[in-house]
A and B are shown apart, each in its own frame.
Chain A
Amino acid sequence: MSGSKPDILWSPHHPDLYVICDSELGLYRIGPVGGTETKPGTLSLSKETAATLLAINSDTPYMKCVAWYPKHEPECLLAVGQANGRVVLTSLGQNHNSTCKELVGKEFVPKHARQCNTLAWNPVDSNLLAAGLDKHRADFSVLIWDISSKFAPETSVAAEKIRLSFVDLDSSSVVTKPLYELGQNDACLSLCWLLRDPKLLLAGMHRNLAIFDLRNTSQKMFVNTKAIQGVTVDPHFHDRVASFFEGQVAIWDLRKFEKPVLTLTEQPKPLIKVAWCPTRTGLLATLTRDSNIIRLYDMQHTPTPIGDETEPTIIERSVQPCESQIGSFAWHPSSQNRMVVVSASNRVMTDFTVFERVSLAWSSTTSLTWACGRHLYDCVEDSTGGTEGAAETDIATKMRERAQSRYGHDTVQVWRNHLLAGGTDPQLKSLWFDLFYMKQCAEDQELKLQGNKQSVVYSGIKNIIKTSSGTTESRRCWSGSDRQADVPRFYSEERCLALRLCGWISRGPDINVETFLRSLEHEREWERAAAIALFNLDIRRAIQILNKGAMAENGDLNLNVVAMALSGYTDEKSSLWREMCSSLRLQLKNPYLCVMFAFLTSEAGAYDGVLYESSVAVRDRVAFACMFLGDAQLPRYIDKLTNDMKEAGNLEGILLTGLTKDGVDLMESYVDRTADVQTASFCMLKGSPGEVLKDPRVQCWIENYRNLLDAWRFWHKRAEFDILRGKMDPSSKPLAQVFVSCNFCGKSISYSCSAIPHQGRGFSQYGVSGSPTKSKVTSCPGCRKPLPRCALCLMNMGTPVSGCSGTGKSDEKVDLTRENKLAQFKNWFTWCHNCRHGGHAGHMLSWFRDHTECPVSACTCKCMQLDTTGNLVPADSS
């Protein structure tokens, strides 16, 4: 600390006072810039703070070390260690305290003069001041002075011996008798009192670290090491100590003092200061000579470095508080992560706060949490907020809700899935109806065609139309009218199938839309029903539907007007009706009303007004096209529409693409747009198993959806999903990976089943019903030795079901009631992988509900705590 090496000390009790010591002591007050005291002498420390010099003390030359009195009063009392080994008490600024006046100027003189290297006040008994001195042949190097002691009586005797003029002792204030003398014939380079016991003093001696116990000074605990400089105890973890040697810092655990628990990467230059952050656990700052950076070591994640073999991880980073080379630094005692840095050369000071690393975590739902320093920020989207509840429209929230409502699991009334999804999304509605109709047709085809056309159903209308042959053209009359309509209609088996897939007609050879119309009427889709009636050339039915709609409760009376307009239909090419309708129809808001007039006013074969009306459902447009477009036009139209759907990722297009590669393409752009892997997964599992499921994109969606379910802790849902998936795609079923083997013969207990895993699995093999096996399962089927006993009920393990339930088929379980399933699980084997104790799963579950330790009396294994997921509760109740 001579001239060139300044140091900084914060006041232990005043967060705004600090001392810089180099050749003299300077007391500074730190405050906000432009505060009340804007004196010319104010030094700017940062953008916000400035320091004012309050006092200077240059009474003590040859300062080697300084320590600030730890108690509140007297407040600015400092102990200064000098080059000749004397320790002087001094103060800064005015101090009216009487005890302070008594103490200031007091000197503590060692028997043999040599450099004082370090000073440390006892944090509890603040009268004790430990001084570490250089080596002397016969003297002690660690002296503990009692500052309250009166001058020693020996001094008067000693004074007689003083013949050397420079030892002018002012005997009234000089103490020569230390309270304790430790470390004979050794040098002491650094000292600190241990926080875990204020009677213990840790000293960095010449080539060893020693812990002296004031209660028994003849004993010491020591460890040989070179890292003996700058010993300092972690204020947050009282057994952790840092010390250094040249460029290397060693971290010690006092409970395991034989060797450092870790050493930090060696720096090329020698270290000059190492300090634990007082406001943040496990943060160590180090400074090397001639450097303008401070290195920080974050041991945050290793609060207990005793953890057996785990090498503690340390995050190292550097901060550069100022441009110039740093002379010293000091952590602020209370302000978080703040330090003041003083430059090596010209006493330029910088106020600096180390910014914390920000760690961020998404929750599996919509909230987000991040931490910075001691602050934890939780960001939850405001569901009642003004932006229409962005959280509710978020796909993750939707998928979560849909998963809870068993979306995708209705395998019979497939169309109902759109209701499970909330029933508000028209695309989903269309998708699930498509899949429903496909399923219906497929089942129907199976009956009718013995399955040879089954795959066609799922290949989409686009492919069905391509195979079309033998199209017949017919001109039909307007029903209820004798006028010949000049509208050609096309008919073929494939077109008929397409209409069925569109949902317009049900099975049978006739094109009868009446059932469909009734269901539309039932759902009050008057306009759509009217349009479809019209497209089936039944203008009366259309008018009737519109009338019905107008009459219905809350009906739109305008429908009557439309019906009137419709009734005036004429096929006169140049009639006023035609002219007005073709222009005024565009003003109709309802697309179906609009396309009705477009159809009536179009030339045969030129139905662009209908076909390209994008507000009309794809299924209706496709059905219309199948009826009214010729073999040349139809594939072109379908192709174009398919491409549009694929590009837009519109699920209505699944009707066209089916569950083919085209369909996966379409679904891909849908997922890209919406991230709805849930719908994508379920949709792809509805089709016929085959190439589609092997598509890596499909596998990716499925895996992601399973991960999502796991992240939400919807483990039961995931199990259900896996069961569903296993039915559709048996290759996805994992093979049994865990077998219970006998302790005696080592053979699998479920040997009889696992030996022939791929052949016919008769019920009896699973021991469900067969009584012959039942008698054997409490013993190993291989060697007949008994199975281990359950630690709780002390019965031998094994029940008919438990023996093989690991490989049990899901089909069997479907038939079991909920209670049965639980009972089955209760009888399973389970055991701790650590202590190897265990028993019936049910018994274990109930034991660990109240205990953390193993139920075996002599075993102290904390089995449940070892299970990282055992304490998690599934978020889905079922």
Chain B
Amino acid sequence: MYEQPTGGAAFPVPKTMDLHILDHRLRVTSISKNGLVSYTHPLIKLIFLRNRTRCKFFSLTETPENYTVVLDEEGFKELQPSEHLQVESSVWLPLNVVSNGSVSSSSQAVGVTKIAKSVIAPLAQQHVSVFMLSTYQTDFILVREKDLSVVISTLEEEFNIYKEVEGESVPVHCQDVSNGLQKNGKEALQPTVHPVLIPQNQFCVMSLDPDTLPSIATTLIDVLFYSNSPKEDSQLSANQDLDCIQFFSFSLIDGYISLVMDTEAQRRFPADLLFTSSSGELWRMVRIGGQPLGFDECGIVAQISQPLAEGDISAYYISTFSFDHALVPEEDIVSVTDMLHHQRKEAAAS
């Protein structure tokens, strides 16, 4: 049974990566800031009372525009439709890339950078729209269910693809899915180059022992639901200028908690409960999009991730209902800024 870390020895070209199609059917929704009050009840249930819900995939991201909630169908049942709830009509499936074995790649970079070439770019070429969700533990690539056959045929060359069904990983091949391979037609237009915004706050990506979640409950509720309340500290509110962006992300996926918050928010949590990398790295944000991006445009992630990959710069990437957000290491922000400016100039020139 000793197997090369490459996996299937029968293949002439070893595939070093596995792609797992996870057993979740996801909906992407948005709750308006005004409407939050009518959704606090289900959200608290989904965050804190894990054994009262069968939701296995839950992500809540607060942005200045709205709250983006990504959750599986079990969790979606909890959300009552209202004028404050916008729902993207498709069902999305999360994909997860697992490097098979312990080949130490030359690149030290993590996050989307690692999969930029192998997943993001090919999917962009095939006009598959992706919705990215990076967490402390891993990166989820959400694709529409209807695009699955295209995704599989596109990525099959590079990956061993498995579909997870009730906890078992089942290998998937192209012929297993519908034969009518529908290409997302439309001849490749020159993709729009979106404006970017680089706020000043520093972010950290952290995790938490789910057992200790109750002990930070009040802080978490405060941060999530009362961020707009007038603060006692006038100093802080003075800081809420355009240079900083309000951004907080909480996800609880398959029992793992991931938190993305700025250092401001991080200070409000007890120091010893949240954990992160021992180096304690900090991240800067690049927000993509001048106006809401929608869900149909392709190549947005590729646009950012490809240059980052070329520069071997780690990045997290969190898509929300309106905009996309990339997190890059603080020390690399200058080169990233330069690179993006260069890209924009080129686009303008062409």
Contact = CB atoms under 8 A, between A and B. Distances in A.
B279 interface: yes
B271 A221 contact: no
B277 A111 contact: yes
Nearest to A167: B280
A294 interface: no
Given A137-B137, A184-B102, A224-B169, A257 B1 contact: yes
Given A110-B278, A114-B207, A137-B136, A184 B99 contact: yes
B275 interface: yes
Contact of A186 (B4, B98, B272): B98
Interface stretch (A36-44, A158-166, A610-618, A842-850): A158-166
Nearest to B316: A137
A137 B139 contact: yes
A110 to B, nearest CB: 7
Interface string B1-40: 1111100000000000000000000000000000000000
A136 interface: yes
A338 to B, nearest CB: 32
A85 B275 contact: yes
B281 interface: yes
Contacts of B167: 207, 226
Contact of B275 (A113, A140, A163, A181): A113
A217 B98 CA distance: 18
Nearest to A85: B275
A218 B101 contact: yes
A212 to B, nearest CB: 9
Contacts of B271: 165-166
B265 to A, nearest CB: 13
Q: Which of B2, B103, B168, B282 has the most CB of A within 10 A?
A: B2
A219 interface: yes
A637 interface: no
Contacts of A223: 1
B63 interface: no
A176 B277 CA distance: 11
Given A114-B275, A161-B281, A164-B276, A207 B169 contact: yes
Contact of B211 (A83, A226, A258): A83
A222 B139 CA distance: 24
B277 A112 contact: yes
B82 interface: no
A138 interface: yes
Given A83-B212, A112-B278, A185 B138 contact: yes
Q: Which of B102, B134, B212, B256 has the most CB of A within 10 A?
A: B102
Interface in A681-728: none
A226 to B, nearest CB: 5
Contact of B5 (A84, A114, A218): A218
A81 to B, nearest CB: 12
Interface string A69-91: 00000000000000111000000
Interface in B133-184: 134-139, 167-169
A217 B102 contact: yes
A218 B103 contact: yes
Given A167-B280, A176-B278, A221-B2, A115 B209 contact: yes
B280 A222 contact: no
Contacts of A258: 1
Interface string B248-281: 0000000010000000001000011011111111
B308 interface: no
Contacts of A64: 209
A664 interface: no
Contacts of A2: 211
Interface string B275-291: 11111111000000000
Contacts of B168: 224, 226
B52 to A, nearest CB: 18
Contacts of A140: 102
B280 A163 contact: yes
B280 A164 contact: yes
Contacts of A163: 280, 282
B4 A219 contact: yes
Given A84-B209, A134-B137, A183 B111 contact: no
A254 to B, nearest CB: 10
Contacts of B211: 2, 83
B204 interface: yes
A109 interface: yes
Contacts of A181: 102
B193 interface: no
Interface in A182-206: 182-186
Nearest to B168: A226
Given A166-B272, A183-B102, A222 B277 contact: no
Contact of A111 (B3, B111, B135, B279): B279
B138 A162 contact: no
Contacts of A169: 278
B197 interface: no
Given A138-B110, A185-B98, A207-B167, A114 B2 contact: no
A220 interface: yes
A112 B136 CA distance: 9
Nearest to A256: B1
B109 to A, nearest CB: 9
A214 B279 CA distance: 27
B5 A62 contact: no
A155 to B, nearest CB: 9
Interface string A113-146: 1110000000000000000001111101000000
Nearest to A180: B102
Contacts of B5: 218-220
Contacts of A183: 102
A58 to B, nearest CB: 15
A62 B212 contact: yes
A135 B278 contact: no
Nearest to B275: A113
Nearest to A164: B280
A158 B5 CA distance: 31
B96 to A, nearest CB: 9
B111 A113 contact: no
B275 to A, nearest CB: 3
A111 B212 contact: no
B278 A221 contact: no
Interface string B182-224: 0000000000000000000000100101011000000000000
Contacts of B139: 137
A111 B276 CA distance: 8
B276 A218 contact: no
Nearest to B207: A114
Contact of B279 (A136, A158, A220): A158
Nearest to A110: B278
B101 A220 contact: yes
Contacts of B212: 62, 83
A338 B3 CA distance: 42
Contacts of B114: 138
Nearest to B270: A166
A542 to B, nearest CB: 101
9 closest A-B pairs by CB: A113-B275, A166-B271, A83-B209, A138-B110, A84-B275, A164-B280, A112-B277, A221-B1, A2-B211
Given A136-B136, A220-B101, A221-B2, 11 more contacts: A137-B136, A137-B137, A138-B114, A158-B279, A166-B274, A181-B102, A183-B102, A184-B99, A207-B169, A219-B5, A220-B5
Interface of B: 1-5, 98-99, 101-103, 110-111, 114, 134-139, 167-169, 204, 207, 209, 211-212, 256, 266, 271-272, 274-282
Interface of A: 2, 61-62, 64, 83-85, 109-115, 134-138, 140, 158, 161-167, 169, 176, 181-186, 207, 217-224, 226, 257-258
18 contacts: A83-B212, A84-B209, A109-B278, A113-B278, A135-B256, A136-B137, A137-B111, A137-B134, A137-B137, A140-B102, A158-B278, A165-B271, A169-B278, A184-B99, A184-B102, A185-B99, A207-B169, A220-B101
